[in-house]
Amino acid sequence: MKFVDEAVISIFAGSGGNGCVSFRREKFIPLGGPDGGDGGDGGSIWVEADENLNTLIDFRHQRQFRAQRGENGQGRQMFGKAGEDITIRVPIGTEVINVATDEIIGDLTEHGQRLLVARGGDGGKGNVHFKSSLNRAPRKATTGSAGEERDIRLELKLLADVGLLGFPNAGKSTFVRAVSAATPKVADYPFTTLYPNLGVVSVEPYRSFVIADIPGIIEGAAEGAGLGSLFLRHVQRTRVLLHLVDMAPFDEAIDPVYQVRAIESELRQYDPGMLEKPRWLVLNKGDLLSAEERQARAEEIVAKLEWKGPWFVTSALSREGTWPIMLKIQQFFDDTKREALEAAEDVAERARMNPNG
């Protein structure tokens, strides 16, 4: 299952500079004449795919992009300076659509791939271009043409980087609200979410990832109970799983350890390899317990589970402890990417040192 992240932006290519009407008149130079230079071309706007980006969240803050106008021409046949182009960086897999016509301008599928989305205007001609044997002193120059303007829609089909697992009412939707700008429906009812809630976590500009509440995973999901079989396919594509557990349920008969084991069983039945994914335990609703009770309860659950991976105590409702988890996830992604680059460089270096090997 894919989700769609989209942004609509307005782009304005630069207009061309105007041509110049000028005549050469200098002492001791008997033959003057027209010498007006051309205007510079306006800057164009390009969209470029960047493997370092994951989402379109940065376009929430900037929705207009204007390229530089070309400078006007000057005397002595001096051409105006061309306007600088603008490059808009987007994640790989972004589709660019003309809003007015709903036409797909292009699909960026590789790192570094560039797409021209608005061409800058041409610079106007100076009067030096209009001289002739019949018109020795033309007083004519042309103005620069306007740059292209349009609204474009950027659409990115997202695969969630982080998937939230947990029984209904564990606080997954509340957790998504706490760490992102998503606003899923949240209420105190023991029913599972019917649709995925997707949020974009922005740690800082150009460092973000996608988090999704994976609904429908209950006992029997692997056999098709509820909507679980539909969403278990999506869990396969996530990079990190956060297993949310209500550590302070109102009903004492509800055992958090049993709930964790039950979902582990569903993952194992559907695809044993899913348990090999990085999986972090998040003990939620810690605000319902005192500090002493919270720590003791958390250690008890972790001990019974014999949990070997990272674990955290949070309160999604008050947002206590949620942001440190997001920072650790971003650091995990950064470290994983760096290790992959180092491994690729090592392979390339070995190949260079041993070309026949």
CATH number of the 3-133+146-157 domain? 2.70.210.12
Q: Which of 139, 156, 142 is nearest to 35 (CA)?
A: 139
Handedness of CA 230, 235, 236, 238 (dihedral sign): positive
Residue 4 scores a pLDDT above 50: yes
Instruction: Kindly tell me the number of DSSP H helices and DSSP E strands found in the chain.
Output: 5, 16
Tokens representing residue 345 in the block: 């460089």
What would the two tokens of residue 69 be?
A: 């106008």
Condensed to tens digits (0 to 9), the pLDDT of residues 92-105 reads 888 899 999 999 99
Domain residue limits, the chain: 3-133+146-157, 159-342
DSSP character at residue 106: E
- Structure confidence at residue 30 (pLDDT): 66
Q: pLDDT (tens digit, 9 = 90+) per residue, 126-176?
A: 988 888 878 878 888 899 999 999 999 998 876 678 888 888 778 888 898
Asked whether the domain spanning 159-342 has the same topology as the one spanning 3-133+146-157, the reply is: no
Q: How far apart are CA 98 and CA 94, in angstroms?
A: 13
According to the model, what pLDDT value does residue 39 have? 94
Higher pLDDT, 82 or 225: 82
How far apart CA 249 and CA 13 sit, in angstroms, is 58
pLDDT band at 237 (very low <50, low <70, confident <90, very high): low
The span from the CA of 303 to the CA of 308, in Å, is 9
In the predicted model, what is the mean pLDDT of residues 28-49? Answer: 87
Find out whether 211 and 188 touch, Cβ atoms under 8 Å.
Answer: no
Tokens representing 11 are 């782009």
Amino acid 267 reads: L
Q: Which of 14-23, 163-172, 216-225, 240-249 has the lowest mean pLDDT?
A: 216-225
**pLDDT grade for 235, boundaries at 50, 70 and 90:** low
pLDDT of residue 221: 41
Instruction: Output the CATH code of domain 159-342.
Output: 3.40.50.300
